[in-house]
Amino acid sequence: MKHLDVAAAVVIKDGKVLAMRRGPGGNPVTSLKWEFPGGKVEPGEAPSQTVERELREEMSYEVRAVRRLAKVDQDYPDFGITLDAWLCSADSFGFVRKEHIDSRWIPLEELSADVLDWAPADRKIVEAILPILR
């Protein structure tokens, strides 16, 4: 089975966390689900660099990776991923949605697996970081 290393940005700004909604199509397990923005780790690239690059490319959003929050494994029907989540800071709320169909800034106190329909790997990240962020 194919395996991907993926990095995600947990962007926190003024007590809110950024969540992005995937569009339709692609993997039916993750289609239209909510996720933390990010993408595939390129060869020779550190996951912290991946989140900064991916948000710059996909959202025209400058963030700084601060520290690793959690790392989870998730198997899907056709592939598996290791998702490396990084706490990121940003100077503004402004970004451009280029690949996602929706976005929300979720207050930290409302960040739970029950608020949004998270993609399976991202749900694991939410569950892992809740105790850290509270």
Q: Give the whole-angstrom CA distance, residue 85 versus residue 126.
A: 10
Q: What number is the average pLDDT over the span 59-74?
A: 97
CB 84 within 8 A of CB 47: yes
Q: What number is the average pLDDT over the span 19-34?
A: 92
% the chain with pLDDT above 90? 83
C-alpha torsion angle, residues 14, 51, 49, 96 (rounded to 10): -80
pLDDT at position 130 is 87
Q: Which residue has the tokens 């892992």?
A: 128
Q: Is the dihedral of CA 94, 24, 43, 18 positive or negative?
A: positive
The DSSP output letter for 37 is S
Decide which of 134 and 14 is more confident. Answer: 14
Residues 6+ apart with CB under 8 A from 65: 9, 47, 48, 49, 51, 52, 86, 87, 88
> For strand 34-35 and strand 63-75, is the pairing parallel, antiparallel, or unpaired?
unpaired
What is the residue type of 36? Answer: F
pTM of the model as a whole: 0.94
Q: Is the dihedral of CA 87, 6, 84, 111 positive or negative?
A: positive
pLDDT at 1 over 70: yes
